[in-house]
Amino acid sequence: MRWLRPLATLAVLVALWQALVWATGVPRFLLPGPGPVAARLWQDAGLLAGHAATTLLEIVLGLGLGVGLGASAALVLARSGAARRWLLPLLVVSQAIPVFALAPLLVLWLGYGLASKVAMATLIIFFPVTAAFYDGLRRTEPGWLDLAATMGASRRAVLLHVRLPAALPALASGIRVAAAVAPIGAVVGEWVGSSAGLGYLMLHANGRMQTDLMFAALAVLALMAVLLFTLADRLARRLLPWQPDTLDPDTTQQGGNK
């Protein structure tokens, strides 16, 4: 039942796509129908899988680095007033620079290989994670802080045992966003300069008018993004069982008053 709804949505979208192709009679090199794309997916499965593995590796490494650095930055900001005064404006200003404009520079500095794409994904993930987690660390229930103060807790203990766990749901929101945008970073990096990856494959397929291969690569990329997001979401729910989801009746029932 859980999977039926998204599958039905997908089926409707594919049907609309097919209808559009039939109705307009566009040539295949402009808009291939679902049939040829599916055939491509099947025929070039090996090729697609190879490039997808490269992109996935970039995304996963970027996610790990971006989340790690972003969470650390948020903790530093929460811990130190000096860090807030010096780093926070810098962080905000840094967001005025479009990450995409940095992609050629990153390729220039870090080369055509994995490093420049991982850096790209890391950069694009870093800010949403930092912003979400830092926000969570700031919005601790004041009563908990008062209680900790009367119990004689050090600032470090308060951060570790009260602020940090209380901010984990906010960090989870940041990671969900990160999982959704990480593929963008990796693919943009591949477009600017690379020798492997789904972005690279799409660019070349586009140049050779292999539009069906482009669509096939796009489908694989979309599938990867959806899977990553779902995985991040599931993981967050599993690890934060105390966090009630008021829109999901499954989790709120046990949380209510008896």
Phi-psi region of 205 (alpha: psi -120 to 50; beta: other; left: phi over 0): alpha
Which residues, in sequence order, are CB contacts of 124 under 8 Å at separation 6+?
62, 66, 99, 181, 182, 184, 185
148 or 179, CB closer to other proteins? 148
CB 225 within 8 A of CB 183: yes
Residue 151 lies near other proteins (rule: CB under 8 A): yes
Identified binder of other proteins from the candidate list 25, 81, 152, 207, rule CB under 8 A: 152
Among 26, 157, 222, 231, binds other proteins (CB under 8 A): 157
When asked if residue 154 is in the footprint of other proteins (CB under 8 A), the reply is yes
Any contact of residue 245 with other proteins (CB under 8 A)?
no
Q: How far is the CB of 117 from other proteins (least distance, A)?
A: 36
If the CB atoms of residues 148 and 205 are measured against other proteins, the closer one turns out to be: 148
DSSP 197: S
Which of 169, 104, 181, 110 has the alpha carbon at shortest distance from 141?
A: 169
SS3 string, 58-80, reads: HHHHHHHHHHHHHHHHHHHHHHC
Mark 108-147 with x for binding to other proteins (rule: CB under 8 A) and - for no binding.
Answer: ---------------------------------x-xx-xx
The C-alpha atoms of residue 127 and residue 123 are separated, in whole angstroms, by 7
Q: Does 235 bind other proteins (CB under 8 A)?
A: no
Footprint on this chain of other proteins (rule: CB under 8 A):
141, 143-144, 146-154, 157-158, 161-162, 165-166, 168, 240-244, 254-255, 257-258
